[in-house]
Structures are given as structure tokens and as C-alpha cells.
Amino acid sequence: MSKSSTSSFSKNVGSNSNRFYKCPVSQNKKNKQQLHQKKAESAKQDSRIGSLSEPISRSPVSITNLNTLLSLFTPFVHVKFLSEGESEGSSSCESVKKAYFELEELWDYYKEWSAYGLEVPLTLFEDEAVMQYFVPSLSGIQLYVQHDHHQGFGKTDEESGDMPSKETTNKLVFQYFEFKRLFERQPLNDKVSTLAMEFPLLKKYRSCDILPCSWFSVAWYPIYRIPVGPSLKNSEASFITFHNLTTHFSSQNQPKLHEDEPLKIALPIFGLATYKVKRSILHLPKVSESQQMNSLVKGAEDWLKNLNIKMQHHDYMHFVNHV
């Protein structure tokens, strides 16, 4: 493996409090019936996967902006199955099947959203129904493998914990932290393709080839809102979601099988950072919702601290310094 492919792509940036910008507003309008229909569809999905920081629950959940955002920001990917016997070079037919997905398919999941934006139905103050569009960008990523495994892939690795200790022998083979301002960035799918030109395994790895401490984060920033109006000033609210990249089901932040489509799994959000959401699209009247929000925010902070990369994650530092 070349030296350049294993090094960090991050660069130092100066303090810039105006990294976020207001994008041009679309003139298209949709009626409220469509807005409420989208809200109902989001609620249906939310009821299937439940709170994404907790195990899936079949109990009904309230329709809130937080639940809607977490549901729609969660990627679902098709899985294949690899037997333990196959991973160890055995041809035993009795071996247990293990689920995995290909990283390229994960990145393709964001392809449409990268091009057109993700449509998110929200309810503002005074029950104003709007449709907010967010575009994803790759905010940060780290890929870990075992030290004797980075020159090839195709074998499964066992790891009991999620986070590597400082004495770990895990091998960091790739990392990237976005440093550009939002209007200078490539959408997520395009950015991954650019990075894969230097590090092809970014697309070729399977989830069973990398360790549970591998992760990625997505910055979601708004591009426009329908309908437009006085509430447009709140459209700067942005988010960073943190996800694991493996299918090691012993992992604390393990992927969750989709109830309606068993050959799909969700990569749950285990951490969250927010930008300009106060008195905006997130109004949390219930204690349980505030607790969920605080838990996700702490999850992101703890993760970055444990990996000792908090200062390297430029988007995260900008978010927490400009709440």
C-alpha cells in the first residue's frame, strides 16, 4: 500500500465563522396535502426502526422533527452473507452466515441525495408544515483493519469493543476530514469517488474486512425550503451524523436489520452535532426527546475524544463553536 493512501487528507484551516451560507431558494411550491403525506411516510419509517440510538422498538413513537431527521438521515444498505467457514477457508455447509455489505453500495445510497438533496418534512412553530431539502457531504471517515490485514481483504476480524484503546495494534489505513467551506465542497458521492482514485479500497472494502472502530460522519446542510416565507431565516440549521462502518454484531453500535426488508440493514446514528438549531427546527417539548438529543451529542463527543481526533474533525469543531 502506498504511503499516500494511508495518510490523512485533512489540512489546517483558519478560523472562519462564515463557513455556512444561504443557498438560492427554489420557486417551486407544493400543497400541504403532500407535505402531510411525506410526514406520515416518515413517521411510518420511524416506527419501524424506532429510536436510532436505541434497539428497535415496535411501540408507537410521536412524530417529531428530531425523529424525522434521525430516520431519514440513517442509511440502509443491502447485505450479503458470508459464512464463518468461508472466512476461515473452510467449505463447511454447517457454518453460520454473517451479514456484510460493500462500501461502494453504501456510498451509492447517497447518490440521489448528493445530486438533488434529501426531502425532509418538518413542522415549524404554529404547526407550519414545510419541506426542507438537505445535501450530504462527507465530513470525516476512518478505516481500521488488523495490522496484518491491510494489504489484502476478504477475511473477517473479531473485535470485542467498539473503540480502540491507545495501546491497540489496530491499523489505521485511511482517514479524511473535510476542511472546505460548504459551497466549495463536492457532494458526498462525488467526494468518495475522488478519494477512491487515490485509495481504491474506499469502495472495494466489505464491512467484514474492517474493524468495529471504523466510522464515518456526514454533514447535512440545507439548500432550500418549500414553501418559502418568514421562517426561511431558520433554514441554516445543519447536522453531522456519526455512523459505524462494520457489521460486527457484537458491536455496541451494531447495525439493525430492516423489519420490512430483511436483506437490508440500517447503520444507526450513534453521534450527532448540530449547527444553529436553537429556536429553529428542533423544539423539544418532551423530556425523553431532550435526553435522546443529549445522548447523541455526547456520543459524538466521547467518540472523537477517545480516538483523540476531536481537533482534527473540522466540521465538528465549527459546529460546537457556533451552536
Q: Which residue has better confidence, 248 or 162?
A: 248
What average pLDDT is seen over the chain?
73
Of 136, 106, 109, 114, give the one whose Cα is nearest residue 202: 106
Kindly report, residue by residue over 121-157, the tens digit of the pLDDT.
988 776 778 888 999 999 999 999 986 544 444 444 4
Q: What is the pLDDT at residue 97?
A: 61
| pLDDT bracket for residue 82 (50, 70, 90) | confident
User: Which pLDDT band holds residue 88 (cuts at 50, 70, 90)?
Assistant: very low
CA distance 270 to 258: 17
Q: Residue holding cell 418568514?
A: 230
Q: What is the DSSP string of 272-307?
A: EEEES-TTTT----SHHHHHHHHHHHHHHHHHHHHT
- The rounded Cα 10 to chain-centroid distance in angstroms is 19
What pLDDT shows up at residue 124? 78
* pLDDT number for residue 105: 94
Cα separation, 319 vs 205, in Å, equals 30
- Residue at 58: amino acid letter: R
Question: Which pLDDT does position 172 carry in this prediction?
Answer: 95
Q: Which residue has the higher pLDDT, 34 or 275?
A: 275
> Is the pLDDT score of 162 beyond 90?
no
- The dihedral sign for the CA sequence 92, 93, 97, 102: positive
Whole-structure pTM value:
0.72
Cell numbers 404547526: residue:
127
Q: Does residue 41 register a pLDDT over 90?
A: no
Write b or e for each residue in 77-98: b if 16 or more Cβ atoms lie within 10 A of its Cβ, otherwise e: bebeebbeebbeeeeeeeeeeb
pLDDT at 64: 84
Mean pLDDT of 305-316: 94
Report pLDDT for 106: 97
Q: Is the pLDDT of residue 293 over 80?
A: yes
Please give the share of the chain, as a percent, with pLDDT higher than 90.
Answer: 41
Residue 53, pLDDT score: 38
**How far is the C-alpha of 48 from the C-alpha of 63, rounded, in Å?**
13
Q: How far apart are CA 216 and CA 313, in angstroms?
A: 11
Residue 236: helix, strand or coil by DSSP?
Answer: coil
Report residue 139: phi and psi, to 5°. -95, -40
Closest CA to 133 of 248, 224, 69, 8: 224
Element (H, E) at 203: helix 201-204
Position 263 confidence tier, pLDDT thresholds 50, 70, 90: confident
* Mean pLDDT in residue range 157-181: 70
